[in-house]
């Protein structure tokens, strides 16, 4: 990029950042206002029910009254959902009353705060303002994220905690200190209490800790142990509560076996979003109904249900591993692009917004792959952390049932790689030839906006 344009970006970076954050807030408030005061979202009724039960003193209980093919059932679950989001809803209901719009407005504010954190993460990784501004530009206009602002769903809160965990871990990798390492572990624990997906993430990041620029192996192992133990300490109160409730070890929630079964093509050869669908075999329906219906204790037998579902899933996989492998491959475009090739069930109506979202997802992924290739060639080590997190989420979501919205929490990390490609194109177009150090963020100091010693804490 020409020196003139580069100097303009350097001079006006704060104004450009304020403009993009303002647009992010405006988009979020628009979604919150248009949604009204009505519950929206795939699991909205579940989380709303848990929050109201918390306020009523019933604890973490999820109550459903429904029917299984004409037979009435009463479902009372105590460990199916993690606690962070119901607590978030209950806090808002306490402050503003039982109003969905208050939740949407709060999530619009969190969406904007997350935009600033994404910018700071990009600034720390690139040590250049152009790709950092490109990252938040993509974030502000990424339509699939707009769609979850006005939803009673965990995505916004989970995304905030997960991005903070990555940010502090990048801070620690640049300047190994105790504070960013501890804060990264705290936010990893909070993310796990919002959604159980990252429970095993520390073990996936073990390679990162062993390759960290620390004096000895002993220091690396100790850093990993500190990160793991602090994350477990954050989660441990909920784990103790689960063990006391069910009399057995439950890491976070009781739904892992069910989601695995839903992803094994048990219903007419297709993965299924639930065991109450008409195409679920009658025998499986009876088994599920036996455990899910609240019995003499007044609660559903969640542990037995989860174990039974996991056992049935393993039987299906062993019976036809080839089919399960094909189904796993089919999940990839569904996870990343929202393309559902399982035409057994009707697809969502095609709309301008859905087509636009598909095109945006495809363009984002293409740019991300180009950017990742360039960063690998430049040996940009700080990007290893978001890359490993993206890979982890891709792997763990290929085996159970999957939806496109499960990929949304890692899209801000994907945008880092897309911004690398975008910045390279602009540099080439306008004739800028960066020096070798600018290609490797580990070899340079962050800009003045990110304080040298406290890059993970400062807000200047």
pLDDT, one tens digit per residue, over 274-290 is 666 666 777 777 777 77
Which of 108-112, 167-171, 284-288, 304-308 is predicted with the least confidence, judged by mean pLDDT? Answer: 284-288
The pLDDT value given to residue 378 = 76
From the number of C-beta atoms within 10 Å of its C-beta (0-12, 13-18, 19+), residue 44 rates as: middle
Is residue 454 predicted with pLDDT exceeding 70?
no
pTM for this entry: 0.89
Interatomic CA distance for residues 113 and 107, integer angstroms = 10
- Residue 168 · residue 456 · CB < 8 Å: yes
Tokens of 257: 């076996």
3-16 mean pLDDT: 76
List all residues 6 or more positions away from 202 whose beta carbon is below 8 Å from its beta carbon: 188, 224, 227, 228, 231
The closest of 438, 437, 430, 416 to 371, measured between CA atoms, is: 416
pLDDT at 417: 96
Q: How far apart are CA 450 and CA 269, in angstroms?
A: 53
**How do residues 255-278 score in pLDDT, each as one tens digit?**
888 888 888 876 655 566 566 666
Highest-pLDDT range among 5-19, 244-258, 286-300: 244-258
pLDDT at 397 > cutoff 70: yes
Q: Kindly tell me if the per-residue pLDDT of 359 is higher than 50.
A: yes
Helices (H) and strands (E) in the chain, counts: 18, 2
Q: What is the pLDDT of residues 44-54, one digit of tens each?
A: 989 999 999 99
Do residues 300 and 314 touch, judged by C-beta distance below 8 A?
no
Cβ contact 147:436 at 8 Å: no
pLDDT band at 400 (very low <50, low <70, confident <90, very high): confident
- The band of 418, judged by pLDDT with boundaries at 50, 70 and 90, is very high
Q: At what angle do helices 155-174 and 84-96 cross, to 10 degrees?
A: 120
pLDDT at 457 over 70: no
Mean pLDDT to the nearest integer, 196-222: 90
SS3 content of the chain, % helix, strand, coil (to 5): 65, 5, 30
Q: Which helix (H) or strand (E) holds 273?
A: none
Residue 428 scores a pLDDT above 90: no
pLDDT at 290: 77
DSSP-based three-state secondary structure for 64: strand
Q: Is the pLDDT of residue 460 over 60?
A: no
Confidence of residue 182 (pLDDT cuts 50, 70, 90): very high
Q: How far apart are CA 265 and CA 272, in angstroms?
A: 7
């Amino acid at each position: 990029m020409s020196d003139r344009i580069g100097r303009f970006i350097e001079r006006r970076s704060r104004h450009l950042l304020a403009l993009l954050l303002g647009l992010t807030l405006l988009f979020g408030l628009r979604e919150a206002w248009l949604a009204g005061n009505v519950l929206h979202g795939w699991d909205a009724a579940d989380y709303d029910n848990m929050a109201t039960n918390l306020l009523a003193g019933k604890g973490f209980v999820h109550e459903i009254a429904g029917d299984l093919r004409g037979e009435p059932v009463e479902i009372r679950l105590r460990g199916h959902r993690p606690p962070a989001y119901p607590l978030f809803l209950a806090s808002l209901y306490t402050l503003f009353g039982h109003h969905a719009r208050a939740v949407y407005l709060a999530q619009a504010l969190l969406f904007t705060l997350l935009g600033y954190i994404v910018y700071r993460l990009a600034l720390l990784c690139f040590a250049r303002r152009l790709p950092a501004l490109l990252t938040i530009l993509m974030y502000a206009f990424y339509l699939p994220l707009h769609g979850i602002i006005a939803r009673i769903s965990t995505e916004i809160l989970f995304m905030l905690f997960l991005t903070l965990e990555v940010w502090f871990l990048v801070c620690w990798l640049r300047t190994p200190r105790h504070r960013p390492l501890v804060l990264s572990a705290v936010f990893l624990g909070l993310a796990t209490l919002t959604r159980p997906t990252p429970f095993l993430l520390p073990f996936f990041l073990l390679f990162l800790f062993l390759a960290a620029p620390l004096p000895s192996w002993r220091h690396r192992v100790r850093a990993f142990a500190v990160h793991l133990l602090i994350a477990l300490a954050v989660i441990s109160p909920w784990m103790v509560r689960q063990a006391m409730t069910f009399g057995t070890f439950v890491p976070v929630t009781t739904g892992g076996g069910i989601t695995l079964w839903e992803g094994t093509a048990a219903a007419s050869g297709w993965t299924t979003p639930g065991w109450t669908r008409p195409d679920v075999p009658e025998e499986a329906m009876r088994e599920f109904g036996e455990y899910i219906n609240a019995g003499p204790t007044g609660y559903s037998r969640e542990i037995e249900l989860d174990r039974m579902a996991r056992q049935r899933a393993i039987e299906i996989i062993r019976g036809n591993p080839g089919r399960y492998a094909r189904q796993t491959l089919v999940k990839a475009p569904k996870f990343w692009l929202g393309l559902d090739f399982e035409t057994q069930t009707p697809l969502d109506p095609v709309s301008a917004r859905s087509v636009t979202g598909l095109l945006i997802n495809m363009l984002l992924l293409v740019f991300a792959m180009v950017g990742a290739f360039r960063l690998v060639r430049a040996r940009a080590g700080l990007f290893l952390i978001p890359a490993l997190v993206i890979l982890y989420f891709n792997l763990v979501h290929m085996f159970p049932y999957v939806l496109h919205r499960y990929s949304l929490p890692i899209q801000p990390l994907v945008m880092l790689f897309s911004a690398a490609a975008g910045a390279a194109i602009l540099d080439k177009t306008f004739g800028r030839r960066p020096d070798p150090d600018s290609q490797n963020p580990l070899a340079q100091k962050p800009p003045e906006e990110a304080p040298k010693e406290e890059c993970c804490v400062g807000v200047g």
